[in-house]
């Protein structure tokens, strides 16, 4: 890539998730390629994996290294720049953001703290799990916020299964015990996908982790139903499928403590666990709370108006899970969902192009197209639109619709030719490679 022109308007996007990477790609095509602006994407990781698929990475049914997007290569092919780093501060007066020092595996600093100047800043750092201050969560739970964390879960889970297989004597009734705290979309999908993965491990000779006999998967939710943020009929269908899979669901149970041995709730319930996954609640990263005077809410989200511009700085925008964007007719902001981040990226791309021409920004209106939940070999969901209304779907149709969401994300990043070739390659892989990541 040629060296940047210093007098070009510099748009810096922090965070290469579902919204940030789509925004960088779109602006690269429309502005970077034509030399109208300089686009820089900043991320603490070197690769991108679509967050709704992290539950598959965590149980090994998806190898993230085969479907991930390498930021450096993607930037080179789509007319923007990539800088590896983690934002940890902001100087709005100078229009500079701070990138934290980088350290190697031994903890030795290899790159000092850096400044990066911008003309327009877009913060799209996503969300992280909210532990609500529950004792023991940070020390005894694993999380699914990043694909690095998902890979850690996969390695820990595989190690736990191998230990159970090697254990002498008759197999215990529950050789492997997994507790999932939070029955939102992530928790539900992880529990169902874990059942599927355990069944596949049996086919590879690990007969002591048979999900029908030796595995106990517990799903713990404080609300009175699973998927409390989604329609009740979707919750009912999901709970029925979880019961069929043998997942034990504990509803109305507020977790008060997590230990190395398991989970304790306010009612006195004690759920033993070899592995505990926390997926209850989402908040924005803590560093946003004191980001040079920008307005935030209780969940650390940056408060923005309906153009996605921050309330206290016309040069700073935010999108995705880290942004509190108003919804017409609702007291709640736009929900932290991948479809919202994608829609915001498209609108903000148009706004930033208008900004260069001193034209008024576009206003963002969230369109809820429904929800789809992957449950092992099937899916359930509801689709919303002008033609369908609000329609419940299940089984093969829902599964196809769920997979199409990922294809839509890939199309936004790579285009139809790449997606067609990648789909063919993945089809061939399924015929020649193990169905489960075993390392």
User: Looking at residues 195-211, what average pLDDT do you find?
Assistant: 90
Cβ neighbours around 295 below 10 Å, total: 14
Strands (E), 182-283: 215-220, 248-250, 255-258, 262-265, 270-272, 275-278, 282-283
pLDDT for 387: 43
Q: What is the pLDDT of residues 219-243, one digit of tens each?
A: 999 999 999 988 888 899 999 999 9
- C-alpha torsion sign, points 50, 79, 350, 45: positive
Q: Is the pLDDT of residue 184 over 80?
A: yes
User: Looking at residues 185-199, what average pLDDT do you find?
Assistant: 93
Q: How does residue 385 score in pLDDT terms, banded at 50, 70 and 90?
A: low
Using CA atoms of 255, 197, 236, 406 in order, give the dihedral in degrees to the nearest 10.
100
Q: Range with the lowest mean pLDDT among 55-69, 250-264, 298-312?
A: 55-69
Spell out the domains of the chain, with CATH numbers in brackets. Answer: 10-127+284-356 (3.50.50.60), 137-281 (3.50.50.60), 370-432 (no CATH)
Q: What is the pLDDT of residues 238-293, one digit of tens each?
A: 999 999 999 999 999 999 999 999 999 999 999 999 999 999 989 999 999 989 99
pLDDT for 383: 66
pLDDT for 341: 95
Q: What is the pLDDT of residues 37-51, one digit of tens each?
A: 999 999 999 999 999
pLDDT for 107: 83
pLDDT for 355: 96
- Residues in Cβ contact with 64 at an 8 Å cutoff, skipping those fewer than 6 apart: 47, 49, 57, 147, 150, 151
Q: Sheet containing 248-250: which strands, arranged edge to edge? A: 248-250, 215-220, 176-181, 275-278
Higher pLDDT, 319 or 53: 319
């Amino acid at each position: 890539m040629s060296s940047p022109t210093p007098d070009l308007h510099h748009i810096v996007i922090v965070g290469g998730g579902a919204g940030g990477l789509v925004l960088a790609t779109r602006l690269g095509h429309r502005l970077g390629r034509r030399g109208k602006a300089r686009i820089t994407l900043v991320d603490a990781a070197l690769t991108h994996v679509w967050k709704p698929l992290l539950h598959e990475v965590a149980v090994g049914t998806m190898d993230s290294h085969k479907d991930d997007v390498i930021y450096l290569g993607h930037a080179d092919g789509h007319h923007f720049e990539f800088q590896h780093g983690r934002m940890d501060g902001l100087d709005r007066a100078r229009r500079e953001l701070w990138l934290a020092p980088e350290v190697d595996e031994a903890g030795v600093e290899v790159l000092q703290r850096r400044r990066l100047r911008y003309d327009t800043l877009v913060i799209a750092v996503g969300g992280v799990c909210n532990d609500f201050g529950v004792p023991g969560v940070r020390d005894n739970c694993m999380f699914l916020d990043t694909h690095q964390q998902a890979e850690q879960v996969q390695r820990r889970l595989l190690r736990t299964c191998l230990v159970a297989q090697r254990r002498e004597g008759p197999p215990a009734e529950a050789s492997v015990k997994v507790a999932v705290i939070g029955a939102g979309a992530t928790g539900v999908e992880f529990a169902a996908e874990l059942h599927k993965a355990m069944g596949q491990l049996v086919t590879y000779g690990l007969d002591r982790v048979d999900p029908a006999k030796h595995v106990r998967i517990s799903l713990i939710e404080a609300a009175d139903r699973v998927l409390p943020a989604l329609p009740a009929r979707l919750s009912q269908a999901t709970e029925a499928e979880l019961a069929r899979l043998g997942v034990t669901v504990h509803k109305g149970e507020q977790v008060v403590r997590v230990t190395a041995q398991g989970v304790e709730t306010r009612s006195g319930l004690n759920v033993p666990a070899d592995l505990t996954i926390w997926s209850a609640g989402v908040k924005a990263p803590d560093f946003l709370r004191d980001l040079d005077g920008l307005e935030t809410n209780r969940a650390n989200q940056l408060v923005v108006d309906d153009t996605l511009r921050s309330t206290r700085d016309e040069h700073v925008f935010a999108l995705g899970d880290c942004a509190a964007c108003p919804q017409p007719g609702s007291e709640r902001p736009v929900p932290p969902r991948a479809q919202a981040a994608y829609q915001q990226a498209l609108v903000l791309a148009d706004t930033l192009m208008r900004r260069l021409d001193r034209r008024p920004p576009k206003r963002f209106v969230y369109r809820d197209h429904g929800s789809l939940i992957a449950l092992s070999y099937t899916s359930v969901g509801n689709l919303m639109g002008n033609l369908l209304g609000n329609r419940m779907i299940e089984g093969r149709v829902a599964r196809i619709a769920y997979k199409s969401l990922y294809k839509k994300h890939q199309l936004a990043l790579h285009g139809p030719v790449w997606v067609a070739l990648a789909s063919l390659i993945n089809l061939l892989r399924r015929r020649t490679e193990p169905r489960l990541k075993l390392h």
